[in-house]
């Protein structure tokens, strides 16, 4: 049974630029301690600031999905490790989870940022919930046989959100997902390319009585600018975005209430290969990344998203400034 969740639709006030509505649901903020890893990998607490470590390091390849927030989190983890003396190769923008997971499984990258709800749903949609820690624990169980470890969670989350333009919401009286089925054939849908095999996309729509695939649909990357641009430009009428996406407030989109609670808690955690952890001090490695994860709230995800997606600042610069502000880069 899913934990009750509500997608908040209030806009977050930011200086000069309006940000998007925040995700987060009703579950308590998860801790940032290291997760269900070999016992030696779990640090007791995340340090307030992290100076370069004298621990053994090994070259690491960090990947990400192909949208700005995943790239940003990957860059944050990369800079934290570089600050501690690790040599980092970036392989950002690998694609959707359907494309990224085989790359991780094959050992072509060593670490990726993962959204624990969708990550769990990729393996076992029956276990997803509105509790970030529960999703992390279940995800760890699901990936243990693949030689992967889930590290500490961010307190903040960015959940999946189906949105419409305000004119569509007004003319069709759409405020909830359950209202879409009656008008589904009148709408042009923007859905990610991996929706067909994703229970949190196809499965969620079918749970609402929406015939899949919709009669009119465009395959566009979720949580990325082209999807939002297509919705604003009326090329599509319904889009799957991320709840922290700045475009929601920028364009005044209406986030439809997920009244059947189909979407899980989506806190972010590094997913790292065990064969990589065997090359380093796993506790020291986890402590470095957990310190960064512990600082990332939903509000910060939204604020940084504005800088990257709206103001078009470089991901590398945004990550460096944020880490410096948080005291996580040695001066």
Q: What per-residue confidence (pLDDT) applies to 331?
A: 53
**pLDDT digits over 93-108, tens only?**
999 898 999 999 999 9
**pLDDT digits over 145-174, tens only?**
999 999 999 999 999 999 999 999 999 999
Stretch 199-219: mean pLDDT, rounded? 95
Closest CA to 238 of 259, 254, 252: 254
Residue 52 near residue 330 (C-beta atoms within 8 A): yes
Mean of the per-residue pLDDT values of the chain:
85
5 within some domain: no
Percent of the chain at pLDDT > 90 equals 74
Task: Render 35-101 in DSSP notation, one character per residue.
Answer: -SS-GGG--SS--SS-PPP-S----EEEE--SSHHHHHHHHHHHHHHHHTT--EEEE----SHHHHH
- Other C-beta atoms closer than 10 Å to the C-beta of 123 total 15
27 within some domain: no
Q: Is the pLDDT of residue 36 over 50?
A: no
- pLDDT greater at residue 275 or residue 30: 275
Q: C-alpha dihedral over 128, 130, 133, 139, to 10 degrees?
A: 20
Which tokens is 58 given?
Answer: 């090994």
Residue 307 near residue 319 (C-beta atoms within 8 A): no
User: Which strands sit side by side in the sheet containing 60-63, from one edge to the other?
Assistant: 88-91, 60-63, 111-115, 268-273, 148-150
Q: Is the pLDDT of residue 255 over 60?
A: yes
Q: How far apart, in whole angstroms, are the C-alpha atoms of residue 274 and residue 105?
A: 11
Q: What per-residue confidence (pLDDT) applies to 168?
A: 98
Burial class (CB in 10 A: 0-12, 13-18, 19+), 144: middle
Distances (CA, A) of 216 to 10, 186, 254: 30, 9, 20
Q: How far apart, in whole angstroms, are the C-alpha atoms of residue 195 and residue 72?
A: 23
Residues 153 and 166 in one domain: no
pTM score of the predicted model: 0.74
Residues 310 and 169 in one domain: no
Backbone φ and ψ for 259, nearest 5 degrees, come out as -75, -10
Q: Which of 15-29, 98-112, 176-190 has the lowest mean pLDDT?
A: 15-29
- pLDDT interval class at 51 (50, 70, 90): very low
197 within some domain: yes
- pLDDT interval class at 2 (50, 70, 90): very low
237 within some domain: yes
The bridge status of strand 254-255 relative to strand 160-164 is: antiparallel
Helix (H) or strand (E) holding 241, with range, is: strand 238-242
* Residue 272 lies in domain: 56-157+265-325
17 within some domain: no
Task: Render 249-306 in DSSP notation, one character per residue.
Answer: HHTTPEEPB-TT--S---BEEEEEEHHHHTTS-HHHHHHHHHHHHTT--HHHHHHHHI
- pLDDT interval class at 55 (50, 70, 90): low
Q: How far apart, in whole angstroms, are the C-alpha atoms of residue 271 and residue 102?
A: 13
281 within some domain: yes
Please state the domain count of the chain.
2
Residues 251 and 167 in one domain: yes
232 within some domain: yes
Stretch 229-257: mean pLDDT, rounded? 94
Helix (H) or strand (E) holding 242, with range, is: strand 238-242
- pLDDT interval class at 197 (50, 70, 90): confident
Distances (CA, A) of 172 to 8, 163, 209, 237: 21, 13, 17, 11
**pLDDT digits over 59-94, tens only?**
999 999 999 999 999 999 999 999 999 999 999 999
Final residue of a structural domain among 235, 255, 275: 255
CATH of the domain at 295: 3.40.190.10
Residues 129 and 276 in one domain: yes
Residues 150 and 74 in one domain: yes
Residues 82 and 104 in one domain: yes
- Other C-beta atoms closer than 10 Å to the C-beta of 229 total 15
Q: Please, what sign has the CA dihedral across residues 113, 197, 221, 177?
A: negative
- Other C-beta atoms closer than 10 Å to the C-beta of 2 total 13
**To 5 degrees, how large is the angle CA 145–CA 39–CA 117?**
50
Q: What per-residue confidence (pLDDT) applies to 35?
A: 37
């Amino acid at each position: 049974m899913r934990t009750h969740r509500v997608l908040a639709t209030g806009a977050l006030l930011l200086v000069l630029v309006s940000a998007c509505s925040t995700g987060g649901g009703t579950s308590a903020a998860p801790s940032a301690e290291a997760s269900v890893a070999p016992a030696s990998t779990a640090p007791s607490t995340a340090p307030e600031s992290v100076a370069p470590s004298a621990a053994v390091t090994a070259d690491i390849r960090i990947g990400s999905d192909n949208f700005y927030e995943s790239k940003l989190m990957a860059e944050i983890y990369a800079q934290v490790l570089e600050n501690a003396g690790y040599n980092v190769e970036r392989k950002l923008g690998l694609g959707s989870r359907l494309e990224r997971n085989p790359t991780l499984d094959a050992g072509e990258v060593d670490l990726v940022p993962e959204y624990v709800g969708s990550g769990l749903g990729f393996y076992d949609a029956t276990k997803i919930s509105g509790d970030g820690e529960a999703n992390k624990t279940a995800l760890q169980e699901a990936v243990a046989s693949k030689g992967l470890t889930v590290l500490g969670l961010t307190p903040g989350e960015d959940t999946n959100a189906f949105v419409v333009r305000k004119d569509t919401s007004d003319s069709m009286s759409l405020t909830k997902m359950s209202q879409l089925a009656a008008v589904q054939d009148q709408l042009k849908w923007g859905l990610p390319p991996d929706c067909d095999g994703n229970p949190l996309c196809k499965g969620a729509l079918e749970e609402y009585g929406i015939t899949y695939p919709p009669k009119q649909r465009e395959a566009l990357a979720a949580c990325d600018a082209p999807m939002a641009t297509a919705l604003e430009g009326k090329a599509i009428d319904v889009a799957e975005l991320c709840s922290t996406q700045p475009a929601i407030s920028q364009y005044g989109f209406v986030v439809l209430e997920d009244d059947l609670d189909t979407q899980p808690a989506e806190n972010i955690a590094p997913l790292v290969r065990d064969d990589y952890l065997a090359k380093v001090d796993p506790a020291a490695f986890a402590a470095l990344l957990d310190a960064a994860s512990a600082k990332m709230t939903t509000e910060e995800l939204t604020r940084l998203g504005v800088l990257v997606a709206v103001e078009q600042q470089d991901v590398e610069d945004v990550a460096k400034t944020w880490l410096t502000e948080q005291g996580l880069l040695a001066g």
